[in-house]
Amino acid sequence: MAMNYEGLSKENVLRLLKEYLKEDFTYSSGRILGSMCTSPHSFAKRIFIKTIDKNLGDAGLFPGTMRLEQEAIAMIGSLLSKPDASGYIVSGGTEANLMAMWVARNLAKKDRPEVIVPESAHFSFDKAANLLGIKLVKIGLDENFQVKTKAVKEAINRNTVAIVGIAGSTELGIVDPISELSEIALNNGIYLHVDASFGGFVLPFLRDLGYNVPEFDFSLKGVCSITIDSHKMGLAPIPAGGILFRDKEYIKSVSIKVPYLSGGEMTQGTILGTRSGASAVAVWALLKHMGREGYQRVVKRCMNLTNMIVERVKKSKKLYLITNPIMNIVGLSSNSLKPKRLADGLRRRGWAVSSTQTHIRLVIMPHIKRKHIIEFLSDLEELS
Ligand code: 0PR
């Protein structure tokens, strides 16, 4: 489509826009049941719009915004047992994982760098490996869908620059045995990155609520960096991911001095140059506004709804759980229908779920209400 010479009126543009956007699913319909994103908190949306012109790529012009980013990182750090962690609010889990792999590769300075990841790792590690010239060594999972730590140990060689553990896997919300990985990493002097992209804003609150949550964060001495995304269970507007490092020295391995900026000389440790200050400010505002207690309530609601699904599936003769959910991610399958067929059937009834080779995945995000679950379960039973 060619660009028009004369501009259209705002009304005309809005009318056209409405046509396109009505094709989209909406969170408020409750029909998005397989996404890790959700409708952002209304307060965060307001703050985001208010600060949309802030550019952390020239932080010297926006020292207040920079301070807010640092405070946001400190608050997230305190959730992860390290209030003095360093890091950035980035565009999402993909960028955060890429940054961690970049840092680990540069710190280790190996000719043929290798990174050991669980088979359950998100595809962002494949992208990172490809971009950074790293060989990914994928390790199988045990019967609990956790990485086999013995195999991790055996896969270490002189080219290994990092080990990755997942705290909330994409397909099932599984947490790897991070404390064992931490021991292995310490014993071999290898960098350990934890991908808590989804679980980071769930696990600390589950622990507060009395769930038995294994250690997965900086309390384990081997953990060097953590991915934790505000645009998932943190309720922030997209884009808002987080990358936190144990030691700010690590960031120097990827930093570049930029002398000419109008805000004055600065050192950039991020992949992006110009980057959203609004994301960082919205994350800061939400953390302040929600408090630990606010997030606990959100997680509790999501878990209650998750349990409604679990109870129903356990009673069903046709459906079964892949594993007992640890967080608000459910993997389930049917005895009679392949996951893809089941997902397609649900789609025809207006439900958007994800499907893998072995199961359909439901993510019970904060936009899901009890009435949606009731409707969904009835459609699911009919179909399976
Ligand atoms: N690490 C883990 C464990 C993830 O699950 C994801 C995203 C990432 C990293 C990458 O994060 P970004 O997507 O923020 O870069 N996993 C979701 C998934 O694949 C992403 C997603 C979100 C997919 C919303 C669909 C959707 O509607 O399921």
Predicted confidence at residue 196, as pLDDT, reads 99
Nearest to 99 by CA among 321, 250, 212: 250
Domain 20-40+291-383 has CATH 3.30.56.10: no
- Residue 93 CA to ligand 1 centre (angstroms): 7
Q: How far is CA 66 from CA 263, 266, 279, in A?
A: 12, 12, 11
- Residue 370 CA to ligand 1 centre (angstroms): 24
Protein residue whose Cα sits closest to atom 4 of ligand 1: 170
Dihedral sign (CA 313, 317, 319, 322): positive
Where in the chain are the domains?
Answer: 20-40+291-383, 43-289
Protein residue whose Cα sits closest to atom 16 of ligand 1: 170
Q: How far is CA 309 from CA 57, 236, 268, 341, in A?
A: 44, 26, 46, 20
Contacts of 87 (CB under 8 A, 6+ apart): 73, 76, 77, 225, 242, 243, 244, 245, 251
Protein residue whose Cα sits closest to atom 22 of ligand 1: 36
- Residue 266 CA to ligand 1 centre (angstroms): 31
- Residue 196 CA to ligand 1 centre (angstroms): 11
Predicted confidence at residue 188, as pLDDT, reads 98
Q: Which of 31, 33, 98, 122 best tests ligand 1's pocket when mutated (most atoms within 8 Å of CB)?
A: 122
Protein residue whose Cα sits closest to atom 5 of ligand 1: 170
Largest CA distance in the chain: 67
Alpha-carbon span 316 to 98, nearest angstrom: 42
- Residue 5 CA to ligand 1 centre (angstroms): 39
Find residue 166's DSSP bridge partners: 195
- Residue 230 CA to ligand 1 centre (angstroms): 12
Alpha-carbon span 16 to 381, nearest angstrom: 39
The CATH number of 43-289 is: 3.40.640.10
Task: Confirm whether 20-40+291-383 and 43-289 share one CATH topology.
Answer: no
Nearest to 166 by CA among 135, 138, 142, 197: 197
- Residue 246 CA to ligand 1 centre (angstroms): 23
Q: How many CB atoms lie within 10 A of CB 132?
A: 16
Q: Which residues line ligand 1 (CB under 6 A)?
A: 35-37, 92-94, 97, 122, 124, 166, 170, 195, 197-198, 229, 241
Alpha-carbon span 190 to 188, nearest angstrom: 5
Protein residue whose Cα sits closest to atom 23 of ligand 1: 35
Protein residue whose Cα sits closest to atom 9 of ligand 1: 93
Alpha-carbon span 282 to 295, nearest angstrom: 15
- Residue 75 CA to ligand 1 centre (angstroms): 23
In order along its 384 residues, the chain shows pLDDT tens digits of 999 999 999 999 999 999 999 999 999 999 999 999 999 999 999 999 999 999 999 999 999 999 999 999 999 999 999 999 999 999 999 999 999 999 999 999 999 999 999 999 999 999 999 999 999 999 999 999 999 999 999 999 999 999 999 999 999 999 999 999 999 999 999 999 999 999 999 999 999 999 999 999 999 999 999 999 999 999 999 999 999 999 999 999 999 999 999 999 999 999 999 999 999 999 999 999 999 999 999 999 999 999 999 999 999 999 999 999 999 999 999 999 999 999 999 999 999 999 999 999 999 999 999 999 999 999 999 998
Q: Which of 32, 36, 354 best tests ligand 1's pocket when mutated (most atoms within 8 Å of CB)?
A: 36
φ/ψ of residue 346, rounded to 5: -65, -40
- Residue 316 CA to ligand 1 centre (angstroms): 30
Question: Residue 102 corresponds to which tokens in the numbers above?
Answer: 């970049």
